Amino acid sequence: MRRQAAKPIGNIDHIALTCENLEEAYEEIVAQGHKLISEGIESNQMFAPLTNRFFLFQGPNGEKIEFCKVG
């Protein structure tokens, strides 16, 4: 079995920010030309019984940024 290399200390996969109007934020990010990582606005039950809606995009320095709304 091949071992995976350890990630450097302090490595963060992404930063998540909550927002009130997810659709408006999505449209603004698309209009600004950022590279989308998500296929549109996605959802999951990570915070069940509440629904987590979110999208991820690449920031100007290559970082992954998530905008989300739980409700």
Report the C-alpha gap between 55 and 66 in whole angstroms: 6
Q: What is the pLDDT of residues 12-64, one digit of tens each?
A: 889 999 999 999 999 999 999 999 999 999 998 988 898 999 999 999 888 99
Q: Kindly state which CATH superfamily the domain 15-70 is placed in.
A: 2,3-Dihydroxybiphenyl 1,2-Dioxygenase, domain 1 (3.10.180.10)
**Residue 46 pLDDT:** 83
Domain coordinates of the chain in residue numbers? 15-70
Which residues have CB under 8 Å from 15's CB, separation 6+? Answer: 63, 64, 65, 66
CB-based burial label for 54 (10 Å; 0-12, 13-18, 19+): buried
| Amino acid, res. 65 | I
1, pLDDT greater than 60:
no
pTM score, whole prediction: 0.78
9, pLDDT greater than 70:
no
